[in-house]
């Protein structure tokens, strides 16, 4: 067992034990002290929420190393409060995020792995998260010559030549050439980090390709695109439905059924919201409505593109109030009964 796998097991055991034992925050603090001794170079934030409906404490552990943060959330009954949602579901109880974002490299094959009951997926995902945290700290220099070449290649590949055409193209998109070059540079850095991460994954012998996928490259698997197509078709058939009703129909139509009923809206994120241009009052990128196994509707925080720091309990409370106000307004319009319950929040930090 390599060092990363050892770390994975320690982290997974920590978060699942908190959930299974339903420990109080003051009891969880003792566990966190022991965990800190295993990760002396990492900082920890343990966000907790007392769910008013179940009376259960739910925990989200944020492990920060360098500029990367790995987030693990768990709960005993598999139902996480919306404020702790937003990661990739490993099983019914565990969610994973890196730097506030779901682990996009395995969005599609995560669900295939779950169907196939691939035993080491938990460890692989956490290992990936730790490697991704390290990769975020990877310094990628980009020279002016490289940036000039990449910018010219971008326009040339699209048949845009000459300063007048380039200026018109940028103007249509509200961009300056300086701002556009920043986007190009960010993309170059991101791809370099991805290559660095890929080599680290290979060196760590982490396997993200289930046997059932054969030789199909991961990059060719587009689960969000499939769901976007499905959402578009349902929207065409039901143009008069409101957003909660449309979302329920999309969830119920998913081939992945219960596995995707909660997670599919996180995967679609802005792609789904963009299908509803007339819903201008909808808080894009902050929350989406998701069908909850056909029994009701719940609010889910979408962290993939939303600037909401999970480690800030004050921000969680502020967002909850804003979401609840929108939620109550939707309830009044749709005459749907919601089960909010009362919740207490807190955070334990150990640097």
- 45 is a domain residue: yes
- 29 is a domain residue: yes
By residue count, the chain amounts to: 351
Backbone angles phi, psi at 103, to 5 degrees: -75, 90
Measured distance CA(89)–CA(65) in Å, rounded: 22
pLDDT number for residue 202: 64
pLDDT number for residue 335: 38
pLDDT number for residue 253: 59
- 16 is a domain residue: yes
- Residue 261: name the closest of 62, 101, 68, 85 by CA: 85
pLDDT number for residue 21: 81
CA distances from 219 to 103, 115, 208, 215 (A): 14, 20, 12, 11
Task: Give, for all 351 residues of the chain, the pLDDT tens digit.
Answer: 444 556 667 777 787 788 778 788 778 888 888 888 887 777 787 777 676 566 777 777 777 765 456 667 766 655 554 444 444 444 444 445 444 444 433 332 333 233 223 344 445 555 555 666 566 666 778 889 989 998 888 888 888 888 889 998 888 878 888 888 888 887 787 777 767 766 766 666 655 443 322 322 222 223 344 445 555 566 677 766 655 565 556 555 554 333 333 333 333 333 333 333 343 333 333 333 332 222 222 223 322 223 333 333 343 344 344 444 544 554 444 333 333 333 455 556 666
Which residues span the domain enclosing 77?
Answer: 3-137
pLDDT number for residue 74: 66
Q: Which residues contact 112 (CB under 8 A, 6 or more apart)?
A: 210, 212, 213
pLDDT number for residue 29: 82
Report whether 221 contacts 213 (CB < 8 A).
yes
How many alpha carbons lie under 13 Å from residue 31 in its C-beta half-sphere?
Answer: 22
pTM of the model: 0.39
- Mapped onto helix, strand or coil, the DSSP state of residue 64 is strand
- 58 is a domain residue: yes
Measured distance CA(339)–CA(154) in Å, rounded: 50
Beta strands in the chain (DSSP E): 43-51, 57-65, 68-74, 88-89, 94-98, 101-102, 287-291, 297-301, 343-350
Q: Which of 110, 137, 164 is the last residue of a domain?
A: 137
pLDDT number for residue 45: 76
Q: Which of 137, 166, 197 is the last residue of a domain?
A: 137
Tokens 């143009």 sit on residue: 239
- 212 is a domain residue: no
Measured distance CA(81)–CA(339) in Å, rounded: 12
pLDDT number for residue 351: 66
When divided into structural domains, the chain yields a total of 2
- 87 is a domain residue: yes
Quote the tokens at residue 48.
């907790």
Do residues 125 and 227 share a domain? no
pLDDT number for residue 132: 61
Measured distance CA(242)–CA(233) in Å, rounded: 15
- 93 is a domain residue: yes
Quote the tokens at residue 206.
């982490």
Strands 43-51 and 57-65, by their bridges, are: antiparallel
Do residues 125 and 234 share a domain? no
- 31 is a domain residue: yes
Report whether 48 contacts 28 (CB < 8 A).
yes
**Residues 191-248: tens digit of each pLDDT:** 777 677 667 666 666 554 433 223 222 222 233 444 455 555 666 777 666 555 655 5
pLDDT number for residue 320: 42
Q: Which of 108, 137, 166 is the last residue of a domain?
A: 137
pLDDT number for residue 92: 40
């Amino acid at each position: 067992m390599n060092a990363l796998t050892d770390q994975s097991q320690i982290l997974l055991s920590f978060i699942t034990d908190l959930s299974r034992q339903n420990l109080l925050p003051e009891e969880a603090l003792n566990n966190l002290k022991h965990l800190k001794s295993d990760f002396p170079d990492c900082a920890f934030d343990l966000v907790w929420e007392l769910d008013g409906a179940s009376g259960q404490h739910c925990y989200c552990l944020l492990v920060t190393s360098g500029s990367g943060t790995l987030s693990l959330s768990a709960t005993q009954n598999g139902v996480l409060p919306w404020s702790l949602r937003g990661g990739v579901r490993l099983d019914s109880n565990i969610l994973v995020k890196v730097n506030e974002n779901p682990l996009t490299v395995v969005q599609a094959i995560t669900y295939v792995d779950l169907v196939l009951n691939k035993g080491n997926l938990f460890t692989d995902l956490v290992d990936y998260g730790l490697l991704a945290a390290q990769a975020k700290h990877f310094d990628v220099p980009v020279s002016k010559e490289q940036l000039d070449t990449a910018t010219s290649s971008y326009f040339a590949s699209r048949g845009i030549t000459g300063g007048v055409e380039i200026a018109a193209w940028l103007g249509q998109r509200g961009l300056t050439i300086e701002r556009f070059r920043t986007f190009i540079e960010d993309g170059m850095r991101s791809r370099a980090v991805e290559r660095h991460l890929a080599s680290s994954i290979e060196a760590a012998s982490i396997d993200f390709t289930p046997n059932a996928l054969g030789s199909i490259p991961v990059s060719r698997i587009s689960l969000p695109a499939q769901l976007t197509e499905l959402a578009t078709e349902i929207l065409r058939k039901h143009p008069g439905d409101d957003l909660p009703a449309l979302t329920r129909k999309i969830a119920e139509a998913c081939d992945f059924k219960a596995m995707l009923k909660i997670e599919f809206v996180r995967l679609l994120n802005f792609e789904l919201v963009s299908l509803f241009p007339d819903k201008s009052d909808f808080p894009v990128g902050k929350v989406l409505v998701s069908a909850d196994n056909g029994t009701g509707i719940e609010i889910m925080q979408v962290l993939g593109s939303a600037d909401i720091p999970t480690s800030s309990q004050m921000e969680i409370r502020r967002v909850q109030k804003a979401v609840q106000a929108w939620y109550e307004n939707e309830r009044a319009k749709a005459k749907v009964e919601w089960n909010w319950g009362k919740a207490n929040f807190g955070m334990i930090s150990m640097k």
